[in-house]
Amino acid sequence: MEDKISRWENPPSLPPTHYVDNRIFTDSEIFSEERDGIFAAVWKLVCHESELPQLGSYRALTVAGRPLIVVRGHDNEIRTFFNICPHRGAPLVRDESGTFGKRIQCFYHLWTYDLVGNCTGITRPVGYEPVGFSKEGIGLRPVRTEIIGGLVFVSIKNEVEPLEDFLGPMTNHIRLHLPADQPLEVFHYHRSEIRCNWKLWVDNNSEQYHEFLHVLNRKTGLAQPDYHERRWHLYPNSHNVIDQGAMNYGNVGLEERSEGLMPGMQPDALLVMLLFPDVMINVRATVMRIDTITPVAPDRTIVEWRGLGLKSDSEEQRDIRTRHHNQVWGPAGRNLPEDISAVEAQQISMSNDAFRYSIYAREEELRPHDDSNLRSFYQEWGRRVGRWPHDAGARRSDKTELGVVGIASE
């Protein structure tokens, strides 16, 4: 009996790259390390530029526990600041979005700032004259901001490499599908707090193997003769993309998606792009979905979903895109509720000591059901938090790589 029990308590008889210690999904100390080692130390997608439609438009959000404001200035430049008044630390805005006039004013002592971050007004400045302090000596603390394909990224830490260097070859994929000469815009937004660790949602977005869960995917995708001929392309920093593959929507009584295609897409095709650590860009021929993640606790995650179409859409075209989006990805669509129920059920097991290791061992020469992209993710995760994914209690003392099959240099 003891041998049978140890079989479940000991690590699987697999290479250490091919399984994960489930403590990484529940441990509060590891969760804190992820905040600073990953989310504060990479480029984080915060919004699409179309969500800042006017001069003065802003969005307030949190990245790695830091409150931020992303704002479109009167010079049309998009900038990011900490949502903290440098006087006494009051939040500058308390609404999630809105539009500034000519200035940003702190509600507490009414200090004011322009949309470039300069302090433009201090109430009763005479009181600071004896110590030589003035508005010229203070301003909003900026956060590095870069944009590619209309996607607005921020980096909390100044020493992070330029965005294009971080994205590497994925830059070309983004520019193909979000081109400057065919600007996109967000037409759908919703978010939800899911009862799971953030990495379980990444897993769900990163793998095609769970398509058996979805009746829609089984009938429109898995049934296609060329489905398993697609390949994953893995890039440095654990960004990856899978080849386009045609879906047959007629198999479930839905209209074909051969007209009004999104940039770079083939008729009826499905495309998935993944950006470390948390972004999924999913395109179904005529409509795009983008997921972003805000970890809240080891077992709670806020996911934001955006649906995008072409900015030039007519009313009729936009109606079609909206319908195509909601059929699959809307809050009551065919896929999203199933994914959420799956990862929330997983999280319950992750917290149970009867289940200690998760297996990422599929090897199919980078075909859709291969786990290489997931293994790449967890190797990058371990490198950044300084732990081994297969033994979460062990610290990494160096940058030694365990090795992942399929890293591309293209």
Q: Say how far apart CA 29 and CA 204 lie, in whole Å.
A: 24
Half-sphere exposure of 354 (CA within 13 A, CB side): 5
Contact status, residue 173 vs residue 248, Cβ threshold 8 Å: no
Mean pLDDT per block of 10 residues along the chain (410 residues) reads 64 95 97 97 98 98 98 98 98 97 97 98 96 95 98 97 98 97 97 98 88 68 76 97 86 80 93 97 95 98 98 96 89 82 96 92 94 97 96 73 46
CATH code reported for the domain at 44-148:
2.102.10.10
What pLDDT sits at residue 216?
Answer: 67
Pairing type for strands 66-72 and 57-63 reads: antiparallel
Q: Is the peptide bond before 142 cis (omega within 30 degrees of 0)?
A: no
pTM (2 decimals)? 0.93
Q: What is the token pair recorded at 44? A: 């984080």
Are the C-beta atoms of 70 and 92 separated by less than 8 Å? no
Please report how many Cα atoms fall inside a 13 Å half-sphere around the Cα of residue 256, on the Cβ side: 7
Q: Where are the domains of the chain?
A: 44-148, 178-395
- DSSP assignment of 305-358, as one string? EEEEEETT--HHHHHHHHHHHHHHTSTTSSSHHHHHHHHHHHHHHHTSTT--EE
Give per-residue burial for 225-250: e unless 16+ CB within 10 Å, then b.
eebeebbbbbbbbbbbbbbbbbbebe
- CA distance to 69, 207, 231, 243, 373, per residue, from 226 (Å): 45, 18, 11, 11, 20
**Whether 265 contacts 283, CB under 8 Å:** yes
Q: How much is the pLDDT for 7?
A: 67
C-alpha to C-alpha distance for 277 and 155, rounded to whole angstroms: 13
Tell me the CATH number of domain 178-395, given options 3.40.50.300, 3.30.450.20, 3.90.380.10, 3.20.20.110.
Answer: 3.90.380.10
Which amino acid is it at 71? Answer: V
In the numeric block, which tokens belong to residue 410?
A: 């293209």
What whole-number distance in Å separates Cα of residue 196 and Cα of residue 298? 7
User: Which residue is associated with the tokens 């179409």?
Assistant: 309
Q: Which of 174, 46, 245, 329 is nearest to 321 (CA)?
A: 329
CA–CA distance, 245 with 268 (Å, rounded to integer)? 8
Contact of 226 with 233, CB cutoff 8 Å = no
